[in-house]
Structure 1
Amino acid sequence: MNIIFDLDDTLYDLNLPFAKAVETVFKNQYALDIENLLIASRKYGDSIFPQLHAGEISLDEAGAYRIQKAMADYGYTISKEKAMCFQKSYRHYQDEIVISDSMRALLDWLEEKGVFLGVLTNGKTEHQQRKIKNLGLKRWISEEYMLVSQEIGYSKPHVQAFLTACQRWKLKPEDTWYIGDTYINDVEGAKRAGLHAIYFNRRHHQLPDSKYLADAVVGNEEELYCLLKNMLER
């Protein structure tokens, strides 16, 4: 069994640095549901990811855009300067991200079982590698088994992103499980490439009407641990 993880909101909880940035910059000025604000922000981030991937906009410009659009969904207009301030605060708190105790225990157990572990994530190489370093993932996963979309030239859900990972790491897609939190990018992309897919539905999204079904759905690290334990020990 081979396992490839997504990074953001899979190996760590994206809401933690996001909530700290909201508290720091907006200081309770607005009535906000922070988790739903995060969901909206990620939706707008996904909508402009092709421009970011192509280098047409910067990471900070993309971050400022998505928080402006997400706040607008709540009826609040914030300036570009305020949005940029939020983005800088968000990036600051991303430097403080940590692996949860539950995820740490899962990775320890998978390593003990001799399961192949890799990471395939969308984003800018330098930015994603910084998160990987902050999380200390090299304790469990060798650097050669971590790929960022910018460096390989394909971003999820493109099937070639998944196939490139499998080819580089000499994995058979049919023996490989991809775990991620975004249905279209992670589940549909992996399934189209011939991998198995586990949907890490941390935000409890309604499952989409898709011809590509996840092989399993979990909502937190503990459920993922139980699922993988049952799969490996049956």
Structure 2
Amino acid sequence: MKLDKSKKAVFFDVDDTLYDHLTPFRRALETIARPKEGFPYEAAYHRLRYYSDMLSLELGGAGSDDYESAVEDMRRRRFQLALQEFDIELSPEQAERMQAAYIGCQYEIDMFEGARELLQRLADDGHVVGLITNGPLEHQMNKIAAMNLGSIIPADRLFVSGDVGWDKPDQRIFVHVNERTGTSPEHSYYIGDSWRNDVIGALAASWNVIWFNHRGTTPESEHTPHHTAGSYTELAQILETAL
């Protein structure tokens, strides 16, 4: 698409940025493993995300030839590895049940307060609004459908790594989005929760980065996002000033 340097692009991550990704993890864990009272769900969730990213990277990412054939085993292993750190040993059968429960819960989505309203306002203001998310195409599109975002975001602004061929933090996925939407990096904004995937990846592509740090975690490197928001109220205020 022809480059229009005046067009402002605002793209969002999906998991744990548009909705609370901890909720389906907690529901699945309570259903299958039934941990003791006081279990550190958030800490375990962070380790699940770590192993999910690490194992996916070992497979070459969601767009690789090996990913499709090995993804189910990878999804089970991430639960086993993460929960081992919290003294919960899952058999392969339990890990498979955990994954099935987790997937089922992921399509029962309540967006963060203010998220839908902000997306609608940005679209109504004429900005190029879209999503960039890691994962298999069908899986991520099912989540997007569950949030009923089709009336706000057109299909050609939905970029899923399993379809595009590059996983965040590979900067090529952001370059691809600019090329497909006719936007420029200096006028592109990316909002995401993951330091490694979202902050580092978008910065590498010279995008403006807003770290959605709603969990109050600490930076993992010397990279510096342009802004940090802990809620959609803060995010809306940042974008109102920046755009």
Q: How much has 1:217 moved relative to structure 2?
A: 0.9
Match of 1:136 in 2: 148
Whether 1:149 aligns to 2:161 is yes
Cα deviation digits, residues 169-203 of structure 1 (max 9, x gap): 11111100011111121111111111111111122
SS across alignment from 2:102: helix
In the superposition, the TM-score normalised over structure 1's length comes to 0.92
Counterpart among 194, 208, 233 of residue 222 in structure 1: 233
Match of 2:105 in 1: 93
Q: How much has 1:226 moved relative to structure 2?
A: 2.1
Q: How much has 1:30 moved relative to structure 2?
A: 7.0
Q: Percent identity?
A: 31
| Unaligned stretches of 5+ residues in structure 1 | none
Match of 1:39 in 2: 46
| Unaligned stretches of 5+ residues in structure 2 | 1-7
Runs of 4+ in 1 over 6 A off after TM superposition: none
Match of 1:15 in 2: 22
Q: How much has 1:133 moved relative to structure 2?
A: 0.8
Cα deviation digits, residues 34-86 of structure 1 (max 9, x gap): 11111110011111112152334543322211111111111221111111110
In the superposition, the TM-score normalised over structure 2's length comes to 0.89
- Backbone CA RMSD of aligned residues: 1.7
Q: Distance in 2 between matches of 1:75 and 1:99?
A: 32
How many residues end up aligned between the 2 structures?
231
Q: How much has 1:18 moved relative to structure 2?
A: 1.3
SS across alignment from 1:137: coil
Q: How much has 1:111 moved relative to structure 2?
A: 2.2
SS across alignment from 1:229: helix
Match of 2:206 in 1: 194
Q: How much has 1:205 moved relative to structure 2?
A: 1.5
Change in 2 beyond 3 A, CA 1:100/1:206: closer
Q: Distance in 1 between matches of 2:34 and 2:205?
A: 44
SS across alignment from 2:210: strand
